[in-house]
Structure 1
Amino acid sequence: MSDPAAPSAGGASSGGGSAGVSSAGLLTLTQWLSPAFPLGGFAYSHGIEWAVAAGEIADAAGLQRWLEGVLAEGAGRGDAILLAQALRPGVDHAALDALGRALAPSRERLAEVLEQGAALTRTTNALLGLEHDPAVLPVALGRAAQGLEVAPEQAIALYLQSFAGNLVLAGVRFVPLGQTEGQAVLAALQPLILRLAAEAAAAPLEALGSAALRSDLAAMKHETMDVRIFRT
């Protein structure tokens, strides 16, 4: 089913936007990726809980290094490319969803992208009057956002910022770090996020790949922790 441009949800252009970009669309996408939207992203640590418990992340500098690896070489880059593909007209979203599921390196990683993607799909279906099936989060987001008139590079950057923000929050809660330290880490990741967004927007599907092995292992080890606060 194609995505209609729904003015009430930000599909129509409004004043203040640059050429080809809808200000209302940007606000809608920001809403979908905000903590107020019922994705439940706060419940997932992406393996960080285990990494902290194992002493691999002990301070703000360690958290920043870890997140740089996840973004540049792990799920951040992979999700960015999937999102870029999902935003393209005429793409086979079911095939992209199947690929996204196959790329998950562990049970918890698969649950993370599926559960959040299903939550986003349920809510955007209700808001936009759509009947999409659940999909992994980057595919679900790209599919729903096709009618928002938002530049792919902007959509990807907002997605990566939200992803990194959730993981920074996990570090703030579990290391623990002060709120200012956490925000400094997130701010320091901005140049990397912008570079990855630009690269992913132009990347072919064949560019998908991952080399964040320590992060993947952390997610696997998290599955067997006796005491856990986060779901992943």
Structure 2
Amino acid sequence: MKILNFHIRGKMAHFRRYYSNSSALSYSVPPRTTLIGLIAGLLGFERDSYYGDFDPEGCRVAVGVCSPQKKLVQTLNLLMIKSSNDLNGSRQHHSQTPTELIIPANIRTGFLDYEVWICHQNNDLINTLHTRLEQKYGYLTQGVSAALGTAQHLGWAESARIVEGEEVAEAQADFFSILPVSNVISLHLSESRHRLRLQKEDMPIHFHPDRTIAGKGNFLINASAAPVNAKVKTAVRLSDERFITWMED
């Protein structure tokens, strides 16, 4: 199968959890819905118009953590914006909201780095996205930036390439993507040669046209940015000899 592989990098991220209330909590990685929104924006889709084009049956996505990260809570003074005249902060009743941020383990020298794999039943879509991402001095966009969640956390996409993948059943290997809990048969932590800092997070997978959640799942994430040795029901062996699992599995 033909798979587009690229990296999303930046200094800070905030992927707001759908069940957050007064405190804005963040996922450790961009959920599938965030990744699809970013990709659709780069391809020029209108907001909320692309859910059918990227449904889980026709579009498969995987994501992995490539640099160590940690979480930090900061209280942000949010502005009340009802018109362009309010952008200077003059309107009263600002909202102070504790906000969870994802930052590199070393904020001074490090960067967040997420590796993304996408396979789509429409090869023309993959080819167009590949062309836009592989520009030597940046990438072409149809009006959006590669923000890491909210708009102020700017990032960029790079290192795009096409790899081949082969689906395999009941594989035990070091996995470089996050793992859907429903796909895991067993974890072999003693066989992992790297430091592990595992987290389990409940993330949305797909939206209905009205942006209500159509599917969600639990995922295992290693915040230390190292592969996790596990046995899974279904996996993908890449042409570079690495293993990943799709978020939809």
TM-score normalised by L of structure 1: 0.29
Q: Please give the TM-score of this superposition, normalised by the length of structure 2.
A: 0.28
Q: Which has the higher helix share?
A: 1
* Greater fraction strand: 2
